[in-house]
Amino acid sequence: MKTMELVFLLIFFPVTLSVKHSLKFFFTISSGVKNFPDFVVVGLVDEVPMGYCDSISNTPEAKQDWSQKMIEDDPQHLEWYTQECLLNQFNHRVQIDILKQQLNQTEGVHIFQRMNGCEWDDETGEVNGFIQFGYDGEDFIAFDLKTLTWIAPKPQAVITKHKRDRDRALNERWKNFLTQQCPELVKRYMDLGKSSLLRTDLPSVSLLQKTPSSPVSCHATGFYPHRAMTFWRKDGEELHEDVEHGEILPNHDGSFQMSVDLNLSSVTPEDWRRYECVFHLSGVKDDIVTKLDKTVIRTNCVSPSEFPAGPVIGGVVGLLLLLAVCITGVFIWRRRDNGFRPAKSSDSLSSDPSSVKDAVLN
């Protein structure tokens, strides 16, 4: 009876899949890094870079047409970002200096990071806010929005936790930003940039393999949005063993790529036809299914029948002749110079600070 009721509900009241949209800010303070801004902040909407500021320019810069329109329509919005860029530089420099003192670090390169933002469910209206701090590549402290307290995963962060727990007024301001201001900003950005942020682009999917004994990688690139997943299945069932999932990575054109590897070392050639790669993109009804077929696998490995023996043999003979000439030259050079002198090289690399912005965003 319960099964029939469930079927009835699904038919007459279909479930609408909601989508979560996000706004995130990534702050980075560095100490001991040369030829690089010691403060950088990047803002992203649905993982798309929309704004940037650093300690060299001290001026927020819009990275999308819709984020530029937000500034043009609301000058106070630009003023708010400018103040945040300047104030956070000072605050985070103080914090990294305090941490270095607490940990007795006087030299070397050190990185202090902060990530904060929110997710908004466009169907249910549910909001989730978050603040996380990291130091030298490891989690340092995080904010618990429900209790308005801080979580310290390391003993070194306990002092900071107690200090932040006592600042109830600051924690209340964080709560207001994460649950009120941030979701409103997400909605405004989504409304201005819906033509690009709400689009769906399907990827091209390829099967790749380095050598005949390597895992087969199912690689999907060019899809948008980033809410996607790729997996292998056998006889219609998703596989979890002998499978390695890669991360979703950004492309230079704003789209994304990802891959999932399948280890076939224990699979007989006769069973290959039972495997297939599935790509699923959020908001798209039909999945992209790619059958495991040796004839469509792209590889750098050349079979013996395709090996260009003639040109290679000729090349080897040429290299042997060249080697003989070089050896003769070396003996002559050693006789004249009376010993080996290593070539001079420069250890310094030129760095253009103006190019840092694009490097951070790409």
Q: Residues with Cβ < 8 Å from 263, sequence gap 6 or more?
A: 215, 242, 243, 244
Banded pLDDT at 205 (limits 50, 70, 90): very high
pLDDT at 256 over 80: yes
**Average confidence (pLDDT) over 329-343:** 35
pLDDT one-digit tens code per residue, 79-94: 999 999 999 999 999 9
- pLDDT recorded at residue 350: 35
Amino acid (1-letter code) at residue 139 = D
**Average confidence (pLDDT) over 243-268:** 94
- pLDDT recorded at residue 18: 64
C-alpha closest to that of 262 among 286, 282, 238:
238
Q: Count CB-CB contacts under 10 A for residue 355.
A: 9
Banded pLDDT at 329 (limits 50, 70, 90): very low
CA–CA separation, 148 and 67 (whole Å): 31
C-alpha closest to that of 197 among 17, 78, 21, 16:
21
Question: Which range (39-48, 197-206, 220-229, 340-349) has the least confidence?
Answer: 340-349
pLDDT at 29 over 60: yes
- pLDDT recorded at residue 301: 62
pLDDT top residue among 252 and 288: 288
Unique residue bearing structure tokens 């995080």: 142
CA–CA separation, 288 and 31 (whole Å): 46
- pLDDT recorded at residue 263: 96
C-alpha closest to that of 226 among 35, 30, 49:
49
pLDDT one-digit tens code per residue, 258-308: 999 999 999 998 999 999 999 999 889 899 999 999 999 998 765 544 444
pLDDT one-digit tens code per residue, 37-85: 999 999 999 999 999 999 999 999 999 999 999 999 998 999 999 999 9
**Average confidence (pLDDT) over 16-33:** 86
Paired residues of 121 in beta bridges: 20
pLDDT one-digit tens code per residue, 140-150: 999 999 999 99
pLDDT one-digit tens code per residue, 82-132: 999 999 999 999 999 988 988 888 888 999 999 999 999 988 999 999 999
Banded pLDDT at 362 (limits 50, 70, 90): very low
- pLDDT recorded at residue 103: 87
- Percent of the chain's residues with pLDDT above 70: 78
- pLDDT recorded at residue 19: 80
Q: Which two tokens stand for residue 61?
A: 């810069």
Where along the chain do its domains lie?
16-196, 204-298
pLDDT top residue among 345 and 256: 256
What pTM, to 2 d.p., does this model score?
0.69
**Average confidence (pLDDT) over 236-255:** 93
Question: What CATH number belongs to 16-196?
Answer: 3.30.500.10
Question: What CATH number belongs to 204-298?
Answer: 2.60.40.10
pLDDT at 351 over 50: no
Q: Which two tokens stand for residue 267?
A: 């699979």
The pairing of beta strand 288-291 with beta strand 39-45: unpaired
- pLDDT recorded at residue 264: 93
What does the chain come to in residues?
362
Question: Which range (65-79, 201-215, 290-304, 321-335) has the least confidence?
Answer: 321-335
Average pLDDT, the chain: 82
- pLDDT recorded at residue 51: 96
